[in-house]
Structure 1
Amino acid sequence: MSREQTIVMTGASRGIGRIAAARILQEQPQTHLLLLSRSVPTDLVNELRAADGNVSVVPADLSSLREVADAADAVIARIRAGELPPIRAVACNAGVQHTNARTTTIDGYESTFAVNVLANHVLLRRLQSSLHPAARIVATVSDTHFGDFRHNLGMVPGPRWQPVDTLARVGAFRDPERAAAGRTAYSTSKLAAIYLVHEYARRFTAGPVVSYNPGFVPGTDLARDADPVSRFAMRWIMPLLTLTPLATSPSRAGQFLADAILGTVAASSGAYIDRDRVAESSPESYDPLREREIWEAVESLTDAFLPTANPTERLKK
């Protein structure tokens, strides 16, 4: 019998996150799945509850760091009130990819970096002191951070690393109104997320912190903001690639994500889970200097939304 636990998850309303949510409750039915979502995914909640799943939703628009912080506090309040079992996993699965690199959030940050990096940092740092000592943290990343044809079929430009303060603002990439800049912002944000996973592994004293790469997954809504031709290709043509090693079907990617969240894949803290196994991320993604720099930069950028007193008992010295 599985233990009672809370799993906090973003990005569960569609795509591989939706599949993973159902799998988690099937495999560990005593789990309370707590979803952070901009709007209540009523159809998903009804579907999970119809299968006797224990699920609830805390509203949070990840493009607003204030809403992320408030949502984390709402989760903590429910834990302290005894309404929820201990948090044994946090899955930062939500992500955005725009057709430009000039979209800004309410906080004034470039949207891709804000949602894919800063929101995750605020959520994890806000929840940090309330996690079970063995809690597992999973950040969904992307093999676009390799920047080569083998990993993205030439569809997404590779990352272009720059000072974090620059990446967090509009104008980090040339011709920011073009789709290529938006895709570069995406691959760069995923490289940044891997750097942070390595740094979290050094600093957090809870359970393992890992990154999860689903591979190229056609048929999801990640390209929902793309042009009509690209959307058509992603939804109806590219799925044929799942018959080859070049792509992962949404159902398999969702199962692999559930496995990463539940710890089915044995992985040490800081590991990169490539679909269903631990692997090496790109050579560029191993850089202790950049990892420390991004930690310090995101701490500064999100300072107004972090706990007023750092939970040093959960930080490695």
Structure 2
Amino acid sequence: MDAVLAKNPRTVVLTGVSRGFGREAAKTLIARRPQDRYVVLARGDAAGTAEALAPAVGTGRVLGVACDLGSLADVDRAAGVITSGLDNGELPPLGGFLGNAGVVFMRTDTATADGYETTFAVNVLAHQLLVRRLMERFTAPAWVVLTTSDSHFGQFRYTLGATPPPRWDAPARLARPREGGPREAGRAYATSKLGTIYLAHALARRLPPEVAVHAYNPALVAGTDFFRAAPPPLRAMAKGFFRLQSALGRGMTPQQAGLRLAETILAGPPGPSGSYIDRGRVVPSSPESYDEAREEELWREATRLSG
């Protein structure tokens, strides 16, 4: 990690590490950089999540902060806990942020506490608010990694037909709950991951080059319980599909994907700020994902929607 972070202790903020490949990535980061202080944002038992990640370094190195990403007020409160700790010296300088949390639902009429469509609110608005609140606290050299998905390409060779192509719209309309079943919910997920790349590009223009921002695609990961919100029969089918793809060499286990993500961060993301990283390699994202007007509109509107 010396290529990205200084040797002195840093604070690293993590979302989406309570299960799946995010948990595996966090375990590797903590084991390889035990001198850093890790702030884990998790819904529910955040202290328990932190304790489960801490055996190798001791509970004093991993701080759990309760945060429901479906509530922008709760996100703002959690960000305030972190910034206060940074400002009063309880936490060392901020050196990293991994925004890995993501959700997908079976319908598009689910709403957060703020009345926003849940997939867009959690995957896009919550992370924009978190990073926006923290961006002035980063101490270079530092890194920001936002987890995206190759579903944003909208092509069969990436999704195997499991997810419809994204359909971008004005952010205020994307944030609005609407009628739609599993297919439209899948489209909402792909659209939110296109939005994640837009956020990475917009953020890269706002941070100094020494604070590198990247969108990271872990590709297909089996065994992550990603479809936990689906009915049991569909959940069982999804798990079987993921296992089959993994056996065919088209996917990875959570352990493999988490190790790949962590090692990419530890080595220093291999590309300029704003790059799209596919399983450790810098590659072009979709042509649609390079649209500065959309990126800036999303940044402005996400700021407005999150208050």
**Which band: TM-score by shorter chain?**
over 0.9
Aligned to 2:31: 26
Consecutive unaligned residues in structure 1, runs of 5 or more:
305-317
Matched position secondary structure for 1:208: strand
Q: What residue number does 1:295 align with?
A: 299
How many aligned residue pairs are there?
299
Task: Pick the aligned partner of 1:197 from 189, 196, 200.
Answer: 200
The answer on whether the counterparts of 1:218 and 1:249 sit within 8 Å (CA) in structure 2 is yes
Aligned positions of 1:1-317 closer than 5 A: 2-41=7-46, 44-53=49-58, 54-171=61-178, 176-205=179-208, 207-302=211-306, 304=307
Residue identity matched to 1:188: T
Q: Secondary structure at the match of 1:50?
A: coil
Cα pair 1:260 1:273 within 8 Å, conserved: no
Q: Secondary structure at the match of 1:33?
A: strand
Indicate conservation of the 8 Å contact 1:136/1:209, yes or no.
Answer: yes
Normalised to the residue count of structure 2, the TM-score between the two structures is 0.92
**Structure 2 residue identity aligned to 1:124:** V
CA distance in 2, matches of 1:42, 1:69: 19
CA distance in 2 between partners of 1:263 and 1:184 (Å)? 33
| Per-residue deviation, residues 121-161 of structure 1 (Å, max 9, x unmatched) | 11011111111132211100111101111101100111011
**Mapped partners of 2:241, 2:119: distance in 1:** 26
1:42-74 CA deviation, whole Å, 9 max, x = no partner?
554333332224211111100111111111110
Q: Measure how far apart 1:230 and its partner are.
A: 2.5
RMSD: 1.7
Indicate conservation of the 8 Å contact 1:18/1:44, yes or no: no
Q: Secondary structure at the match of 1:266?
A: coil
Given that residues 89 and 261 in structure 1 are in contact (C-alpha distance below 8 angstroms), is that contact kept between their aligned partners in structure 2?
Answer: no
Question: Which residue in 2 is equivalent to 1:310?
Answer: none
CA contact (8 A) 1:8 1:91 kept: yes
Instruction: Tell me: CA distance 1:180–1:68, structure 2 relative to 1, closer, same or farther (3 Å).
Output: same
Letter of the 1:182 partner, please give it.
Answer: A
Cα separation, 2, equivalents of 1:63 and 1:97: 12
Deviation of 1:223 (Å) = 0.6
Contact 1:256 1:276 in 2 (8 A): yes
% same residue: 42
Q: Distance in 2 between matches of 1:40 and 1:130?
A: 26
Mark the runs of 5 or more structure 2 residues left unpaired by the alignment.
none
